[in-house]
Amino acid sequence: MRWSQAFIPTLRDDPAGAEAISHKLLVRGGYIRQLMSGSYSLLPAGFRVRNKVRAIIAEEIDSIGGQEFLLPVLHPAEVWQRTGRWEAMGDELFRLKDRRGVDHVLGMTHEEIFTLVATELKSYKQLPQLWYHFQTKLRDEPRPKSGLLRVREFVMKDSYSFDLDEEGQAKQFDAHHAAYTRIFKRMGLETVPVEASSGAMGGSDSVEFMVQSTAGEDFVAFSGRCGYSANVERAQSRIPTVANTNPLEATEKFPTPGVRTIDALASFEGGAAAENQIKSLVYIVDEDPILVLMRGDHPLQEQKLADHLKAGELRPAHEDEIVDLLGAHPGSLGAVGVSDVRIVADVGLQGRNGMTTGANEDDFHLRGVDIERDIDVSEWVNLREVKAGEGCPSCDGDLEVYKAIEVGHIFKLGAKYSKTLGATVLDENGKARPIIMGSYGIGLGRAVAAIAEVHNDDKGLIWPVAVAPWEVIVTLVKTDPDTMAAGEHLYRDLKAAGLDVLLDDRNERPGVKFTDAELVGIPYRITVGPRGLADGNVEFVERAVGERSDIPLDGIVAHVKGLVDQALAG
């Protein structure tokens, strides 16, 4: 490609309102342009990067037996209604009607449609299967942000495995795990696989591939000693046990005028330390209220609650709903004497007595509460969100918590979709069995952004060779006939060697060209000018290193080719 003919609109200024480094640099480097919130056009350079990411993924998924499909984006609502996700997905699902008034959805994922195709599988002899496609997903995100990191329209590689039994599915899951590790490594991403919640996808085992980055939106709990890693949505931790104090024969109601918070009760005369309080939270789960109990100083991890309840929709109850249910306002709530509401309590409260909690009467609390004795707990669940500094659950080290970008996610789906959509095969005994499935996703744009987020400096992007839009740029420092001729020649030789080359033949000041090359982030630069040519040399710079060296013109192609091959070999 000749830069003089190329559309690579670089910008001097950061786009207004951009926070994430990848967002700023991808816009400034001429890779992407925003159409609207959460929707970006990929410009030629951006498209090239994405295609390299795509190729790496396709190669690795093919290597574990993947077969590429292309399934529709427009789906009949009826299929989503059959699996219950028409309701479960809520507002995030784009819905539309056709001219006859029939409901349709724009696919946000493809479990349903792939499963439908899989209903043609009839015999265990046809299994296992591994199917995938790269397809646009549309999600009406509540809040798109950070450029390509969180958008409403994006291309995802999603694969789906089909097996006769859990054992076969486990193999495919492990194969994906390994393939994902290779994929991300090849594109220059250091990932950590973490235990995760499978959320609305519905599944059992679930592993997310995380890239540590302050631009990320997930929090990962990590033990440097043993390597334990888990999304805080799932993470466990060890905390010191709290000894019970002040047990009472029976609960005792006492006035607490104006006390509405844990802190206020802790500092209130006759109150109790946060660790000796029971925090009572009311949630509405798919229309029904439930009462959630936590130790006063423990935060609730909502996803843990949602996972436990297998909830579709989960939200804190509104104040009027709370008053209707318990007869008091938030700040004076408790579970003592409550019998007609499901009560889910955190395991951190098990065995506790002498606790203080709201009396379900404004301005009154109860002390001396023995949880097992006084509260009708329906189930004990781990609901606490871990904090940095707490003990690792699998070694005696401490946990740290860092921000991360989720670049890949793999799930075991079991028979959830095959059962409801009728994807069954006959086993050796001629008995129909629902196919056991797994699903595995990687967002292309997000991967590109994650790479950009990690590989940059104050001058711009620094693409790993494997995903760079061009592997090498030839910068003509002057556009006189001799330099042009030498540059053109070199350009042809580099291309003949199989390299992706960009020739900067623009009639611009050298400074402009150097700065642009650095912003765009091309890994290797060859500078051609009259000065060097007089000695038979060109100048060579590796973007990541920045040091210039003179290399004979007749050896430069082999030099660069060698470096590129080495980089691609990993």
Which 454-513 positions form the footprint of RNA (CB under 7 A)? 459, 477-480, 507, 509-512
d(CA 542, CA 548): 8
Site for RNA in 93-122 (CB under 7 A): 109
Under rule CB under 7 A, residue 361 binds RNA: no
Determine the size of the site formed for RNA (CB under 7 A): 75
Q: What strand order describes the sheet that includes 472-476?
A: 501-504, 472-476, 524-528, 537-542, 548-552
Q: Which of 531, 536, 552, 554 binds RNA (CB under 7 A)?
A: 531
Q: Minimum Å distance from CB 385 to RNA? A: 9
Residue from 5, 101, 142, 258 touching RNA (CB under 7 A): that is 142
Non-local (6+) Cβ contacts of 291 within 8 A are 280, 281, 282, 335, 338, 341, 342, 343, 344
Binds RNA (CB under 7 A): choice among 146, 256, 280, 356 = 146
Regarding 390 and contact with RNA (CB under 7 A), the answer is no
CB of 118 to RNA, least distance (A): 19
Of 143, 249, 339, 545, which lies in the binding site for RNA, with binding defined by CB under 7 A?
143
Decide if residue 212 touches RNA (CB under 7 A).
Answer: no
Q: Would you count residue 159 as binding RNA (CB under 7 A)?
A: no
The pattern of x and - marking residues 164 through 203 that bind RNA according to CB under 7 A reads ---------------------------------x-xxx--
Footprint on residues 399-428 left by RNA (CB under 7 A): 406-409
Q: What is the DSSP letter of 489?
A: H
- Gap between the Cα atoms of 261 and 245, Å rounded: 21
Cβ distance to RNA smaller for residue 34 or 212: 34
**Hey, CA dihedral for 233, 440, 136, 184, is it positive or negative?**
positive
Burial class (CB in 10 A: 0-12, 13-18, 19+), 374: buried
Q: Does 144 bind RNA (CB under 7 A)?
A: yes
Applying CB under 7 A, does 384 fall inside the site for RNA? no
Residue 570 C-beta: closest distance to RNA, Å: 22
Tell me which of 128, 278, 532, 553 binds RNA, using CB under 7 A.
Answer: 532
**Which tokens is 504 given?**
């900067």
User: What would the DSSP string read from start to end of 39-72?
Assistant: EEEEPHHHHHHHHHHHHHHHHHHHHTT-EEE---
Q: Is 516 a binder of RNA (CB under 7 A)?
A: yes
When binding is defined by CB under 7 A, the residue of 189, 211, 541, 553 that contacts RNA is: 541
Q: Does 17 bind RNA (CB under 7 A)?
A: yes
The secondary structure element, H or E, covering residue 34 is: strand 32-36
By the rule CB under 7 A, 217 interacts with RNA: yes
Element (H, E) at 566: helix 556-569
DSSP string spanning 168-182? HHHHHHHHHHHHHHH
Q: Collapsing DSSP states into helix, strand and coil, what is residue 126?
A: helix
User: Whole-number minimum distance, CB 444 to RNA, in Å?
Assistant: 8
Best CA proximity match to 486, nearest among 543, 554, 549: 554
Instruction: Based on the shown chain and the rule CB under 7 A, indicate whether residue 3 belongs to the binding site for RNA.
Output: no
Residue type at 425 in one-letter notation: V
232: three-class secondary structure by DSSP:
coil
18 binds RNA (CB under 7 A): yes
**CB under 7 A: which stretch of 9-17, 165-173, 367-375, 414-422 binds RNA?**
9-17
Is 36 among the residues that bind RNA (CB under 7 A)?
Answer: yes
Chain-centroid distance, C-alpha 446: 8
Closer Cβ to RNA, 1 or 517, answer by number: 517
Q: Going by C-beta distance under 8 Å and a sequence separation of 6 or more, which residues neighbour residue 374? A: 251, 336, 337
Among residues 22, 303, 418, 424, which is the contact residue for RNA, using CB under 7 A? 303
Residue 22 or 357 having the CB closest to RNA: 22
Q: How far is the CB of 139 from RNA (least distance, A)?
A: 6
Site for RNA in 319-338 (CB under 7 A): none
Residue (146 or 360) nearer to RNA, CB: 146
Cis amide leading into 72 (omega within 30): no
> CA angle, 94 as apex, 90 and 97 as ends, to 5°?
110
* Residue-wise DSSP of 463-477: --GGG-S-SEEEEES
Residue 441 lies near RNA (rule: CB under 7 A): yes
Minimum distance of RNA from residue 405's CB (angstroms): 8
